[in-house]
């Protein structure tokens, strides 16, 4: 039991640091960064939307790859990690799905559009939900681990197909402003804030996953003790 508690504690520290970092990001984004001329204040949503998207995508990719590894190696730690990453990923994809339209309405004039990125966001959300729903519906831990891993792996493989099929239609999403061979077309305050925000969201992801992992470990061990005793 203590190992689980240690993991939870460490995860908790990371989470608290992440939360403090988030406060810093809020101050930086709302006060320090200049207002963008074309999009107005709404542009600042970018500083939380993009890092959340990054975290959700990272969470999803990890669920997929770790699921594949689990199917191969059958190490229950992998399953525990995948479950944790899925739950945390769901949280970040909810942020993506809400901040996306809130940003879209003032900037593109519409709450929703079936462009490449918003659609992928929705898919990720449904895949996370499906993964977690299946886990919740299965009692036997072995079956739960294996079946969830199948969904995780297949889900990851699905993403390029989603991307490709949606890309075959026009996209409204703003073109990437960061990745350019020369300097990014962003003033330094914006870039700095954005990078710090990416770091903070990554930290939050790690903290959340660690705590969730520890909780899962604790539950699994308690279940095992009950099973052995009964």
Partner 1 sequence: MQASGPPQNGEYMVAAYVVVAVVILGYSLLLWVRTRRVS
Partner 2 sequence: MISWLRQVMLLAGKDLRIEWRSRTALLSAVVFASLVLVIFVFARDPATVPTSALAPSVLWITVTLASTLTFTRAFALELDQGAIDGLRLSPVTPGALFTGKYLANLAFVFTVEVVAVPLFLLFFNTTFGSAWPGILGTLVLATVGFVAVGTVFGAMAIRTRFADLMLLILLLPFLVPPLMVAVQATVRLLAARPLSEIAGWLRFLLIYDIVFLTLGALVFPAILDE
What region, left, alpha or beta, does residue 123 occupy, with left being phi > 0 and alpha being psi -120 to 50 degrees? alpha
Alpha helices, DSSP H only, in 39-185? 46-73, 76-108, 116-137, 141-167
d(CA 86, CA 192): 29
Q: Are 116 and 171 in contact (CB under 8 A)?
A: yes
Cα separations in angstroms, 95 against 18, 29, 152, 154, 162: 16, 17, 21, 24, 20
The contact mask relative to partner 1 for 41-80 (x = CB under 8 A, - = no) is xx-xx--xx--x----------------------------
Q: In 3-state terms, what secondary structure has residue 36? A: strand
Q: Which of 75, 143, 189, 221 is in the footprint of partner 2 by CB under 8 A?
A: 143
**Helix axis angle, 2-27 relative to 188-229, nearest 10°?**
160
Contacted by 4, from partner 2, partner 1, none: CB < 5 to 8 Å by type: partner 1
Footprint on residues 77-136 left by partner 1 (CB under 8 A): 88, 91, 94-95, 98-99, 102-103, 105-106
Q: Which of residues 19 and 162 has its CB atom nearest to partner 2 in the complex? A: 162
DSSP state of 174: P
What element of type H or E holds 225?
helix 188-229
Shortest distance in whole angstroms from residue 113 CB to partner 2:
15
**Residue 69 interacts with, from partner 1, partner 2, none (CB under 5-8 Å by kind):** none
Where b means 16+ CB within 10 Å and e means fewer, 98-132 reads: ebbbebbeebbeeeebebbbbbbbbbbbebbeebb
Instruction: Give me the least distance between CB of 116 and partner 1, in Å please.
Output: 21
Size of the site for partner 2 (CB under 8 A): 28
Nearer to partner 2, 143 or 189 (CB): 143
- Residue 169, phi then psi, degrees to nearest 5: -110, 165
The one among 161, 189, 219, 221 contacting partner 2 by CB under 8 A: 161
Binding segment toward partner 1, per CB under 8 A, in 64-72, 134-142, 144-152, 218-226: 218-226
Q: Binding partner of residue 186 among partner 1, partner 2, none, CB under 5 to 8 Å per kind?
A: none
Which residues of the shown chain bind partner 2 in the complex (CB under 8 A)?
71, 123, 126-127, 129-130, 133-134, 137-138, 142-143, 146-147, 149-151, 153-155, 157-158, 161-162, 164-166, 168
Which residues of the shown chain bind partner 1 in the complex (CB under 8 A)?
4-5, 8, 12, 15, 19, 22, 26, 29-30, 35-42, 44-45, 48-49, 52, 88, 91, 94-95, 98-99, 102-103, 105-106, 204, 208, 211-212, 214-215, 218-219, 222
């Amino acid at each position: 039991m203590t190992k689980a508690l240690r993991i939870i504690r460490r995860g908790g520290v990371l989470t608290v640091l992440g939360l403090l970092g988030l406060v810093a990001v809020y101050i930086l984004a709302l006060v320090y960064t200049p207002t963008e001329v074309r999009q107005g204040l709404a542009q600042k949503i970018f500083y939380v939307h993009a890092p959340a998207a990054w975290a959700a995508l990272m969470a999803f990719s990890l669920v997929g790859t770790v699921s594949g590894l689990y199917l191969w190696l059958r190490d229950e730690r992998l399953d525990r990690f995948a479950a944790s990453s899925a739950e945390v990923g769901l949280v970040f994809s909810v942020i993506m799905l809400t901040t996306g339209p809130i940003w879209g309405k003032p900037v593109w004039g519409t709450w929703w559009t079936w462009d490449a990125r918003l659609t992928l966001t929705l898919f990720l959300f449904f895949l996370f939900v499906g993964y977690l729903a299946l886990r919740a519906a299965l009692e036997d831990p072995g079956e739960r681990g294996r079946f969830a891993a199948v969904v995780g792996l297949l889900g990851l493989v699905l993403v390029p197909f989603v991307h490709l099929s949606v890309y075959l239609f026009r996209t409204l999403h703003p073109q990437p402003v960061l990745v350019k061979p020369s300097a990014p077309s962003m003033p330094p305050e914006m870039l700095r804030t954005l990078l710090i925000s990416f770091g903070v969201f990554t930290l939050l992801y790690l903290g959340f996953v660690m705590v969730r992992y520890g909780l899962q470990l604790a539950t699994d061990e308690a279940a095992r003790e009950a099973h052995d005793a009964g």
